[in-house]
Amino acid sequence: MGTGEHLGTAGRADAEGPGRTRARPDARVPLRAEGAGDLLHLVRSGRATTRGALQQVTGLSRATVGQRLDRLFRAGWLREVAGGPAGSPLGGRPALRLEFDDAHAVVLAAALETRHARVALLTLGGAVLAEHAGPLDVEDGPDAVLGELADRFTGLLRGTGRPAAPVCGVGLAVPGPVDSETGRVVQPPIMPGWDGYDIRGRLRRAFAGRPGVAGDLPVLVDNDANLMAYGEQRAHYPHCPSFALVKVSTGIGCGVVVGGEVYRGVDGGAGDIGHIRVPEGADALCKCGSYGCLAAVASGRAVARRLTGAGVPAASGSDVRELLTAGHPTAVGFARDAGRQVGEVLATVVTLLNPGVLMIAGDLAGTPFLTGVRELLYQRALPRSTARLDVVTSHLGEHAALVGAGTLVVEHLYAPERVEERLLALGV
C-alpha cells in the first residue's frame, strides 16, 4: 500500500504551451510563488521542506514565507517536525522540517468492476483505514449501483467511528472510458445504461444532508486502467517519465502516465486497446458490437468462453484467475495464447510511447499470460523500443485503482490554484 510520500511527490513538467514542456527550474533560480498553494506544492513535492529552503527556491522574504505558512498551519494542512538538515555547514541545531499532514482529512475511493466492487477509506497519503469488497453487478445500472456504493461508504465511516466531517472527496474508478471534464462515462461497451449518466451528481445526492459532508463534495471519476496506472506510477515508479499499464480482466484497457500526469486523449478515449482490430478475431463478436477486437479474443471474458467450449466452465475473468491459481493446464495454455495476442498489439504501443515500464495487471496477469506477452512483444517490437523497457506485474494488486482514485482527489484538492480558494472558504 502506498504511504504519504506517494501522493503528490512525483515531479512533473510545467507546460509552456501546446506540445511543449520546460525542465524543472534550478533550485538556485527563484521560482515565482503566487501564494500559500505554491509553498504547499513545494513541500509536498519534496523540493523545499524547510523555511530556509522555501526562501531560497522562491526568493521570498522570511516574513512573507512565514505569513503564507501560517495560513497552512491554521488550516491543519502543514506541520513542522524535528529532523531537518543542519542549520549551517558548521553544525548547530537542525532546522525544523515541514511536512504535509495527511491525517487531517480522509478520502473515499471505490473501484467498480463488472461484477464486483471494492470501496475504501483512505488517508490523504494513501493508507487504507477500512475497506469492503463484495459482489456488485455493473449491469444493474448506475442509479442502483451508485446508491449501493454510497451505502457501503457510509458503512465504512460508521464502522471506523469517524464522523463524516473529515471526508474531503470521493474518487471512483469505472471499467469504461470517461470524459474527465464531466465525469460521465462515454459509450462504455461493458456498462449498459451508463452512457452520459451524471455519476458525480448521483453520488453528491447520496451524501446530501449527512452531517458534516459539504453539498459540493468533490467527486472525481476516471477509467479504472487510468487510475491503476496513476496509483502504481506514483507509488513505485515516480521518476518514470513514460509509464503504461495494461489491465486484462473481463475486458482489456491501458492506462498511460506521461510526465507524472494521466494521458486521456481528447475525450477520455486514450488507451482503449481492447478494441483494436486483430486478424485472429475476424469472426469474434465483441461486446462493443464489432467483430475482430482484441478483447473478443484475448480478454478474461474471451478466455472464459474458450474454456467453457473446451468443457471447463468459466464465465468471467475472475473465474479464469481462479483456474490459473489452481494451475489448471487448459487455462494456463489459453492464458498464454491470450498473452501472445496482447503482446502483438503491445509491440505497437511500446513503439509509439517508448515507456520505461510496461505493467501487466488484472485477472490474467500471471506467469502464463506474461510469458505470452513477452514472447510476441520482443519479437515484434524494434530492439530500440525495448532496450530500456521493464515488463512487470502489479505491485499494489487489488488496491491499485483505489490508490489512484485517492491520488486523483488529493491532487485536485491541493493543487496550487485551488488551495487559495479553499483557505478563504475556511476563513484562514
pLDDT tens column, 162-206? 665 588 999 999 999 999 889 999 999 889 999 999 999 999 888
Residue scoring higher pLDDT (180 or 86): 180
Task: Determine the residue type at 292.
Answer: G
Question: Each residue of 286-334: pLDDT tens digit?
Answer: 988 899 999 999 999 999 999 999 999 999 899 999 999 999 999 999 9
Q: Model pTM?
A: 0.87
Backbone angles phi, psi at 195, to 5 degrees: -60, 120
Tell me what the mean pLDDT of segment 95-115 comes to.
92
Of 152-156, 235-239, 385-389, the least confident = 152-156
- Label residue 159 by pLDDT band (50, 70, 90): confident
Enumerate the domain spans of the chain: 4-100, 106-226+401-426, 235-398
Q: Where are the alpha helices (DSSP H) in 246-399?
A: 294-298, 300-309, 317-325, 329-353, 367-380, 383-386
Q: What is the mean pLDDT of residues 241-268?
A: 95
Fold of domain 4-100: Arc Repressor Mutant, subunit A (1.10.10)
Query: Band of the pLDDT at 280, cuts 50, 70, 90?
Result: confident
- Is a pLDDT exceeding 60 seen at residue 28? no
Q: What is the distance between the alpha carbons of residues 180 and 176, in angstroms, rounded to a whole number?
A: 12
Three-state DSSP at 21 gives strand
Q: So what's the pLDDT on residue 282?
A: 82
pLDDT surpasses 60 at 401: yes
Of residues 344, 352, 351, 359, the one with CA closest to residue 383: 351
For residues 76-103, one letter each, b for 16 or more C-beta atoms within 10 angstroms of the residue's C-beta and e for the rest, the string is ebbebeeebeeeeeeeeeebbbbbbbbe
User: Is the pLDDT reported for residue 341 higher than 90?
Assistant: yes
At residue 164, the pLDDT reads: 54
- Record the cell numbers describing residue 233, joined without a space: 506510477
Q: What is the CATH topology of the domain spanning 235-398?
A: Nucleotidyltransferase; domain 5 (3.30.420)
- What is the tens place of the pLDDT at every residue in 46-76? 999 999 999 999 999 999 999 999 999 999 9
Q: What is the pLDDT of residue 210?
A: 63
3-state secondary structure of 412: helix
State the pLDDT confidence band at 213, using cuts at 50, 70 and 90. Answer: low
3-state secondary structure (DSSP) of residue 304: helix
pLDDT for res 15: 34
**CATH number for the domain whose boundaries are 106-226+401-426:** 3.30.420.40
Instruction: Tell me the residue type at 260.
Output: G
* CB atoms near residue 240 (< 10 Å): 18
The Cα angle at residue 6 between residues 347 and 56, in degrees rounded to 5? 115
Contacting residues for 339 by C-beta, under 8 A, at least 6 apart: 298, 364, 368, 369, 370, 371, 372, 373, 374, 375, 376
* pLDDT value at 38 more than 80: yes
CB 112 within 8 Å of CB 175: yes
Residue 226, pLDDT above cutoff 60: yes
Cβ distance 110 to 172 under 8 Å? yes
Supply the pLDDT for residue 95: 75
For residues 91-100, average pLDDT: 79
Q: Is-same-fold flag (106-226+401-426; 235-398)?
A: yes
Distance of alpha carbon 405 from alpha carbon 177, whole angstroms: 15
